[in-house]
Amino acid sequence: MFDKRFRDRLKLRQLEGLHRNPPVIEKRDGRFVTIRGQKVLSFASNDYLGLGSSHHLAAQVGKHFKAEGSSASSSRLVAGNYQTICRAEKIFADYFGYEDAIFFSSGFQANLAILSTLFEKGDTLIFDKHVHASCVKGISLSGASLKGYRHNNLGHLEKRLEAGILENKAVVTESLFSMDGDLLPVKRFGDLKKKYGFYGVVDEAHAFGVLGDKGRGIAHGVTDIALGTFGKALGLFGAFVLLPYGVKEYLMNFASPLIYTTSLPQAHALAAVDALELVEQGDNVRKTLKDVSASMGETLIREGFQVVGDAHIISVLMGDEKKATQVSQDLLSRGILAFSARFPTVPLGKAILRLGLTALHREEDIQTFVNALREVV
């Protein structure tokens, strides 16, 4: 019975052009990966500053794991609450300008924990309809009343805030949207927060390390909680959440995704501090990324493609799911890896090529990509 269900649903996914069958990456070398023995130029990475490919950071990570061991060997609340981790969390809180911080094993786990734990029945969660799947899962488990607003439409958000008496209300959004690549209108968001007094939760996973002064993101001062990941611009794995005082203790006592999982190891915390130091020193790298991202967007628009993206994430509209899949496959046959984002990652009929630019990309890579895309579309 179960086997038949699985087969039938997979078959339906294939017919709809929604089947996932990711390529096997044999090796990564900077902005290139190897697939089936072929060296491929990748625009599918979140390694925005190139730290995930940094031999220097890799050496530091190796040194820490050699010295401290490979595992925390316990949950945070039993015997995994190491001083090293607490110290690293304080460094992150201070750097990004928040009162406290806590580390998680992944961004998905972090969003799941904070949204399902901090909010409950009687609260109202108002969320951008394009927030990450981890946010959607977290708010759906919270028990709060849910109200979506049109993507990045803060006029619609204000209508949601005006409607009814919403005493315990919170707004969930992203600062740089992971698929669309557009930026939250931060000033307008802050004005609404002052006017309506909502509790803000902003996912800055794709902004931290890249945007704002020294990579500190763009939502500080307009949100109560901000989420970041180590697995993107910081070149590691795991996640961190920046918090007001008292919220860390609350999560320690009530967040099941934190309580019932093994802590990240001490070595990871030490490596995270090393990565943060590289981020702080990375103004030139951020400038390179900004320039190459602008060049990609401008070139695509000049060639007549429908493009969205305000920074280093650029989405090229394909529309039809099967077309997006075919274009991605055709690009791969030409030595280029570009991710086709389809439903349910993006709305049905709004499939895109989602491009992640990195500071490792060069101007000639942009022209190579655009020429290939022009050939296959």
Any catalytic annotation for residue 19? no
pLDDT at 200 over 70: yes
Residue 66: the pLDDT is 95
Listed ranges 16-20, 283-287, 328-332; the one with the highest mean pLDDT: 283-287
First to last CA, the chain: 42
Quickly count helices (H) and strands (E) in the chain: 13, 15
Residue 206 known to be catalytic: yes
Question: What value does the mean pLDDT take over residues 328-347?
Answer: 89
Residue of 253, 163, 171 whose CA lies nearest to 219: 171
Which residues pair with residue 40 across a beta bridge? Answer: 33
151 in active site: no
**Catalytic: which of 64, 147, 169, 206?**
206
**Which letter, b or e, does each residue of 189-220 get, where b requires 16 or more Cβ atoms within 10 Å of its Cβ?**
beebbeebebbbbbbbbbbbbbbbeebbbbbb
From the list 130, 169, 232, 361, the catalytic residue is 232
Q: Which of 20-24, 198-202, 316-320 has the lowest mean pLDDT?
A: 20-24
Contact of 41 with 365, CB cutoff 8 Å: yes
- Distance from C-alpha of 31 to C-alpha of 355, rounded to nearest angstrom: 13
Asked if pLDDT for residue 49 goes beyond 80, the answer is yes
Q: What is the CATH number of domain 62-280?
A: 3.40.640.10
Write down the catalytic residue from 45, 53, 142, 178. 178
* Most confident residue range from 178-182, 187-191, 321-325: 187-191
Predicted local distance difference test score (pLDDT) of residue 25: 86
d(CA 267, CA 70): 7
Comparing CA positions, the residue from 232, 202, 198 lying closest to residue 215 is: 232
The pLDDT value given to residue 367: 95
CATH of 16-49+283-376, one of 3.40.50.720, 3.40.640.10, 2.60.120.620, 3.90.1150.10: 3.90.1150.10
Single out the catalytic residue among 42, 53, 100, 132.
Answer: 132
Task: Tell me the mean pLDDT in the region 2-23.
Answer: 86
Choice among 203, 274, 321, 365 that is catalytic: 203
DSSP state, 75?
B
Q: What is the mean pLDDT of residues 351-356?
A: 92
For residue 20, pLDDT beyond 90? no
Active site residue 232: yes
Residue pLDDT, tens place only, 72-114: 999 999 999 999 999 999 999 999 999 999 999 999 999 999 9
Out of 47, 123, 174, 204, pick the active-site residue. Answer: 174
What would the mean pLDDT of 197-212 be, rounded to a whole number? 97
Angle between helices 363-376 and 321-333 (to 10 degrees): 120
User: Residue 47 above 90 pLDDT?
Assistant: yes
Query: Are 297 and 307 spatial neighbours (Cβ–Cβ below 8 Å)?
Result: yes
Q: Are both 16-49+283-376 and 62-280 of the same fold?
A: no
Give the pLDDT band (50/70/90) at residue 15: confident
* Strand ranges, E, within 175-312: 199-203, 225-229, 239-243, 307-308
The answer to whether residue 272 scores a pLDDT higher than 70 is yes
Q: Is the pLDDT of residue 167 over 80?
A: no
Asked if 293 and 311 touch (Cβ cutoff 8 Å), the reply is yes
13-22, 61-70, 354-363: least confident range: 13-22
Query: Which runs of E-coded beta strand occur in the chain?
Result: 27-29, 32-35, 38-42, 100-104, 124-128, 145-149, 169-174, 199-203, 225-229, 239-243, 307-308, 313-319, 336-337, 339-341, 351-356
**Identified catalytic residue from 46, 71, 81, 168:** 46
Q: What is the pLDDT of residue 165?
A: 66
As a whole-number percent, the residues of the chain with pLDDT over 90 amount to 85
Known catalytic residue at 142: no
For residues 227 and 131, what is the distance between their CA atoms, to the nearest angstrom? 13
Average pLDDT, rounded, for the chain: 94
Distance CA 203, CA 206 (A): 8
Residue 166 has pLDDT above 90, yes or no: no
Q: Nearest to residue 109, comparing CAs of 256, 219, 244, 252?
A: 256
Residue 341, pLDDT > 70, answer yes
Question: DSSP character for 215?
Answer: G
pLDDT greater at residue 21 or residue 209: 209
- Mean pLDDT of the 282-301 span: 96
Residue 310 · residue 182 · CB < 8 Å: yes
SS3 123: strand
Determine the pLDDT at residue 377: 86
Going from N- to C-terminal start, the domains of the chain cover 16-49+283-376, 62-280
